[in-house]
Structure 1
Amino acid sequence: MELRSRLPGGRVHELTQRVERLEADLAEVRRHNLRLAELADLVQELLLPMADQDRERIDRAIEKFQDSI
């Protein structure tokens, strides 16, 4: 039996709209995650040139940051 025939009138349309909203939300979350990854890369690139600082401390900070992602 087809699902459509078991759902009350209008319910298919309501569910279709809900799925479309969820897909849009998921796409937005993916865009935010990509942006976060880009920012994490940028922060890492900015931290690395600080070679004249305490290298061990910098390495620990980078490792801690990477573990938190």
Structure 2
Amino acid sequence: MKKVVTVEGMKCAGCANAVKSKFEGVDGIQNVTINLDDNSALVESETDVTTDALSSALADTGYTVTSVTRA
């Protein structure tokens, strides 16, 4: 499954790496591609990863998931 996750607060490569690392730690996620131009992450997973799981992954980072759509 592929989802596009919009993340508030990503502004630089360091931010992108932090978000990517957090998302890669979520069970089932196989690949994460960050797009700083539109503050999004393309998340590819084996199973249907919930919005709550994605939001929880960023809970202590200062970044916020603002939307999740299927890609």
Structure (1/2) with the larger helix percentage: 1
Ranked by relative contact order (alpha carbons within 8 Å, sequence separation 6 or more), the top structure is 2
